[in-house]
Amino acid sequence: MYNSSETYRVGFNPDFLARVRKKKRAEAKKAAKEEMRRQIEARAKQYAERAKQMEKSLDTLKAQRAAEIRFSKMMAEISSRSEKRRSAPIRVIDIIAIVAAKHGLTIGDIKGPLRQRNIVLARHEAIALARKERPDLSLTQLGRQFDRDHTSILHALRRMGMPTASRQE
């Protein structure tokens, strides 16, 4: 770094320069250790967050599976009930309640004005299921049950890949 002849000419003591260099090296080591500690803490936080996310996703999967089981039980009960009494078809409000329970929503969510993706998908599923179970209802009648216009029902059926015309008997 410094030439010894320049050091003496400027008036610096070589022992002082050695102490300064040693101090700078010690500070650099300390800063490197501190940086390493920060990186390790950041990684530990990332791992903890991932673990939390994995727990949440596992809980979500468990909740979804439980909802699917409840849904299939309700559908089995309804189909057995409708087989016993063909004269009394399933009510649309019951279909809405079943789909709402499956998706963890309320009847008001499905019939309401919200257009969040999960709610719209559940609403369309309920409309398709209602159309499948109650082919005797017109699009207008279904629309009244869902607080929607008949064209909204038509759109939902098309999105779900269902036939839109009334079934011919």
Per-residue pLDDT reduced to its tens digit, 8-28: 555 667 788 888 889 999 999
Q: What percent of the chain has pLDDT over 70?
A: 86
Residue 3 scores a pLDDT above 60: no
Q: Where are the domains of the chain?
A: 1-62, 89-169
For the domain 89-169, what is the CATH code?
1.10.1750.10
Q: How far is residue 130 CA from its own chain's centroid?
A: 26
The rounded distance, in Å, linking the Cα atoms of 101 and 113 is: 18
How much is the pLDDT for 76?
A: 79
Structure tokens belonging to residue 31: 């800063």
pLDDT, tens digit (0-9, with 9 covering 90-100), for 52-110: 888 888 888 888 888 888 878 877 777 776 666 556 788 999 999 999 988 989 999 99
Residues 74 and 100 sit within 8 Å (Cβ to Cβ)? no
Q: What type of residue sits at position 122? A: A
SS3 state of residue 143: helix
